[in-house]
A and B are shown apart, each in its own frame.
Chain A
Amino acid sequence: MLLLTILLPLLGFALLGLFGKRLKEPLPGLIASALVLVSFLLGVGLLAQGGARFQAEWLPGIPFSLLLDNLSGFMLMIVTGVGFLIHVYAIGYMHGDPGNSRFFAYFNLFIAMMLTLVLADSYPVMFIGWEGVGLASFLLIGFWYKNAQYADSARKAFIVNRIGDLGFMLGMAILWALYGTLSITELKEALEGPLKNPSLLALAGLLLFLGAVGKSAQVPLMVWLPDAMAGPTPVSALIHAATMVTAGVYLVARSSFLYANLPDVSYAIAVIGLLTAAYGALSAFGQNDIKKIVAYSTISQLGYMFLAAGVGAYWVALFHVFTHAFFKALLFLASGSVIHALGGEQDVRKMGGLWKHLPLTRWHGLIGALALGGLPLLSGFWSKDAILTATLTYPFGGLGFYLGALLVAVLTAMYAMRWFVLVFLGEERGHHHPHEAPGVMLWPNHLLALGSLLAGYLALPHPLPNVLEAFLKPTLAEVEAHHLSLGAEWGLIALSGVVALLGLWLGYTFFQRKAFPAWYLTFEAWSRESFYADRVYNALLVNPLKALAEALLFGDMGLLGGYAGLGGLVRSLGQGVARLQAGYLRVYALLFVLGVLLVLGVMRW
C-alpha cells in the first residue's frame, strides 16, 4: 500500500509519457492531478492508521525500504497536498502549450521521486528520490528546451546539484564503512551508544550536508536556483519553492540522530544557513524578474530553515518548511497569474498598478508578501519567530545567530514589500491589457492563501498549544532546549513583530519613491548581479575547468602521438638492421666470421 503512493504518480508519468500525445487537453492534467490526490489520500489514510513500512530486495545488503512515520507523513502531506494544488493550477497555466502532456508527465515523475525521497528509510533509497527529483527538475527547467538559455539553466541546475550529490554519496560510503548499514532505522540504533569514530562521523555528516547544500541551494552552491526560474511558473512553485529545495532540510531533520551528536557540524550548518539567509535577502533587492525576486527569497528562507536545523531545532525547521510551502507557493502562483495576465511579461519594471486589474490575485500577492515579510499573526510570522527564539534556546545556537536572523528578517520584510509595490502599486508602466486568471488557477491560490494565513497556528509559542512539535517529536532526535521565562519569550515575540512591521513599513514607503539615494543604487547594482557569484565561479572554476578539458583532449592526442613515436623508433631500428643487408658478399663473410667469434666467445669454456 505504501509503495502505491509512489507507484501511482509513477504510473501517471509512464502513461502520460507514452500515450500523453494522444490525450486531449485537459485530460493529462486531470489524470495527473487525480493521481496525486489519490496518493495524498492514501498517505493520509495510512498515517491515520499509525504509519506503515515497506521493504523489498534491492542491492546486496541494502534493501529498498520505505517508512511512513510522522516525519515522512508530514512531508508527504506537504508534497502531495501542495503538489495537488499546483497540479490543478497548472491545468490552467499550461493550457494550450504544445507540451502539455509532457509537462504533466514530468510533474508526476517529480511527485513520485519526491515521495521516494521522503518515505525512504535508507539513505540509498533516499538518494534514488534525491537524484530523481533532480532529474525532474532538470527536465522541467528545460521544459521549453528550444531556448538555449533555458536549456543551459537546466543543465547548470543538474550539474551543481551533482556536486552536492557526490557529497551525499561519499557520506553514505563513510557510514557504510563505519556501520555496515545504510538503513536509517538501523543507523539510529547504532548511534545510540558511544560513537565509534567521531571525527570520521563528523566528516560523514558534513558530506551529507553538502548534499543538502546542493539540493537546497545554500551558499556556496546557490547559483543554480535563480536560473532555475526558466521553467514554467508552476514548476518554480512546486519544485523550486515548496518541496524539492526543502529536501535538504528534510535530510538534516531525518538525520537529526546524527547531527545531534555532532555539535561542530551543526554549528557549520547554522552558519551556512544564516549566511545563505543574508545572501538571498540582499540579492533579492536588485532583481527585476518577478520570479527571481521570489527565487532569492526562497534561498533566503531556506537559509532560515538550515539555521533552525543547525541550532538543533529540527521541528522548527520543519515548521518553517510547512508555512513556507504555502506562502512561497502562493507567491509563485500569484506571480504566475500576473505573468499570465500580462501575456508572458516577467519584468517588474514593466508592471505596476495591477491592483485594480487583478481583483483576486492582488489579495493572493498581498497575503503571500505579508506572510513572507512576517506580518504578525500570519503563518510566516509564527514560524520565523520560532526560529528566532530557537537560536537562543537551543544548545547549538547563540546570540550572534539571533541578531543576524533578526536583521535578515527586516530585509525580508522590505524586499517582500518591494515585490508587492512594484507589481501591484504605483502607475502602470507596461502596455498590457491585464486579465484575471481563470478559476482553475484561482482556486488553488485561494486555498494556499488560506494556508498562508492559518498554517502557523499549528505550532504556537508556549504556553499556547503546539500540535506540531508533539507530532514530530518522536521521530526527531531529542535536543534539550532550555525554556525561556514567559515574559522573555513573549518579549522576543513582540520584538520580532515590531521588527517585521518596521521592515514592512520601510519597504512600503521606500519603494514607492521616485528616486533612490546613490548608496542604494550602488547596492542595487551589486545585488542585481547577486554579488557576482556566477561570474566569480565562471572565472575561477568553470572556465578553467573547461579550458583544462580542452587541453587534456589535446594532450591525449599527443599521448597517442607519443606511442606512435615509440613505434617509429622501433621502425627506424628495423631500418638500421635491414641496412646491414647491403648485398656485399665480403661484408657478409666478415659478419659471418664475427658471428662465429661471438658464438665461441660466449661458450662456457
Chain B
Amino acid sequence: MTLLVLGAFSVALTLLGFLVSVPVFKRLTILGLSLALLTLLFSWSKPFAFGPYQVDGISQVFTLLALVGALWTAGLVRTRRFEFYLLVFYAATGMHLLASTKNLILMLVALEALSLPLYALATWRRGEGLEAALKYFLLGALAAAFFLYGTALHYGATGSLLAGTPGEGPLYALALGLLLVGLGFKVALAPFHFWTPDVYQGSPTPVVLFMATGVKAAAFAALLRVVAPGAPEALSLLIALSVLIGNLAALTQKEAKRLLAYSSIAHAGYMALALYTGNLQALGFYLLTYVLATGLAFAVLSEVSPDRVPLERLKGLFHRDPLLGLALFVAALSLLGLPPLGGFWGKYLVFTEAAKVGQWGLLILALLTSVVSAYYYLSLGLAVFQKGEAVAAPRPLARGVALLVALALLLLGFLPGIVLPALAQGG
C-alpha cells in the first residue's frame, strides 16, 4: 500500500510539477507523504510481501522515521522551485524501498534511488555546496561499487541474494565486509564518514535534516538485515572509531552544523551497538529519539539561517524567541542522552544490547566518549541562553512543531513505554 501511494505520487508529481504553482506543489508533496504515513500506520504490524518487496516490522518502523524526516524537510524548506520537493519525495520512496527488502539487488537499486536525489539536493546551494555534493557523489559511487561487489560475492558464497543468509568461509566474510562498507558509508560510520562534515556544512539546513534523519533510518534498516544475524568483527572496529572520531572531532567545532555532523557520526556508532543482537526495538527507539532530537536541532538552526550557523550566531536566541531557544536546548540534552529526555532511553536500550553480547569494552568506550560529548552538546545548548544578537523569525507552524517535538522528547523520557510495544511488533 505504502509503496503504491509513494509510487503513484512520484509519477503524478513529476508531471504536475510543470503545471501547478510551487505552494500548491508543496502541499501536494506533503499530502503524498502524509498519505503514505497513514497507510503505514493503518497497516501497522500487518506483514505483507510481494516478491522481493516485504513489509515487516523493520520496514514499517524505519519507513515511518524516514517519512517523518521527509515531511519535516518538506515543511521546513522555503524555496521557489518545485524540484526540491520532488527530489525529497523520490528519496523518500527510495528509503521506503530500501527498508522493505531483503534482496541485495533491490537494495542496491533503492540505495541509488535515495542517493541520487540527495546528491542533487546537496548542490542546492552553489559554490561550497557544489564541491561538497561532488565529494558526496564520488565517494558514494565508491561505496556503491563496494556494495555491488559485496552483493556478487555474497551470491557466490551462499548462492542467495537474500540478506541474512547464513554462510561461512573467506568469501562470505569478504562479502559481509564489503556490504558493511557500502551501508556504513550511508549511515556515516567511521572511517567512511569523511563526506559528512563537509556535506552537512555545505548543504542547506533542511537537506541536512533529511540526511541526518531519513537516510540514517533507511540505511540502518538495511544494516539490520545485512549485518544483524552474525555481526562481523569489523563492526566493533567501526563503532569504536565512530564514537571516538565523532565525539573528539566535535569538541573543537565552532559551527553548529559541522558540530552536529560529527555528532551524527558518533550517534551512528551508538546505534550500531544494537546490530549485535539485531534488536529492532532498541534501534528503533534510538532512531526515534535521534530523529526527533537532531531534526529539532536542525529545524531550529534552519530558522536562524539556511546557511552556516556559527555558534556565535545562536547566542541570544532564547531571549529573542524563548521557545526556539528552549527547543534547541532540549534537543542538545536529548542528543547527549541526559535523563529525563528520550535520548537517554535510546542510549540505555542500545547499551543493553551491547551488554547482552558481552561487549563491555566497547560499552565503556561508548560511555566515556559520551562524557566528552557533554562538552560540545552543552556548548550548543547553552549558547542560546547567552547574551547575543541572534536573529530568527520563525513561522507559527515551525514553532508549533518545535514545541511538539520538544514535549515529545520529554514525554519519551518519562514514559518510554508508550511507544516501545509498537516498535516491538514485527521485527
Contacts and interface: CB of A to CB of B under 8 A. Distances in A.
Is there any pair of Cβ atoms, one from A and one from B, under 8 angstroms apart in the complex?
yes
B138 A577 contact: no
A464 interface: no
B367 to A, nearest CB: 15
A589 B138 contact: yes
Contacts of B249: 574, 577-578, 581
Given A592-B194, A599-B237, A603-B232, A570 B372 contact: yes
A196 B135 CA distance: 84
A578 B180 CA distance: 24
A603 B139 contact: no
Contacts of B238: 599
Nearest to A587: B194
B51 interface: no
Contact of B252 (A578, A596, A599, A603): A578
Given A583-B198, A585-B134, A603-B176, A598 B191 contact: yes
A591 interface: yes
A600 B197 CA distance: 25
Contact of A603 (B177, B244, B248): B177
B180 A599 contact: yes
Interface string A578-605: 1011010100110110111011101111
A588 B194 contact: yes
A604 B233 contact: yes
Nearest to B131: A583
B253 A603 contact: no
Interface residues of B, number: 40
A605 B169 CA distance: 6
A602 B191 CA distance: 14
B416 to A, nearest CB: 31
B148 interface: no
Contacts of B170: 605
Given A570-B372, A595-B191, A585 B234 contact: no
Contacts of A573: 248
Contacts of B191: 591-592, 594-595, 598
Among A571, A575, A588, A595, which residue has the most Cβ atoms of chain B within 10 A?
Answer: A595
Nearest to B232: A603
Contacts of B139: 585, 588-589, 592
Contacts of B197: 581
Contacts of B173: 603-605
B195 interface: yes
A418 B137 CA distance: 107
A580 B173 CA distance: 29
A205 B190 CA distance: 69
23 contacts: A574-B249, A574-B251, A574-B252, A578-B248, A578-B262, A581-B197, A581-B198, A585-B134, A585-B135, A588-B135, A588-B194, A589-B139, A592-B143, A595-B181, A595-B190, A595-B192, A596-B177, A598-B234, A599-B177, A599-B237, A599-B238, A603-B176, A604-B233
Question: Which 10 pairs from chain A and chain B are nearest by CB?
Answer: A595-B191, A574-B251, A574-B248, A588-B194, A578-B249, A599-B234, A577-B249, A603-B173, A605-B170, A577-B248
Interface of B: 134-135, 138-139, 142-143, 146, 170, 173-174, 176-178, 180-181, 185, 190-192, 194-195, 197-198, 232-234, 237-238, 244-245, 247-253, 262, 372, 375
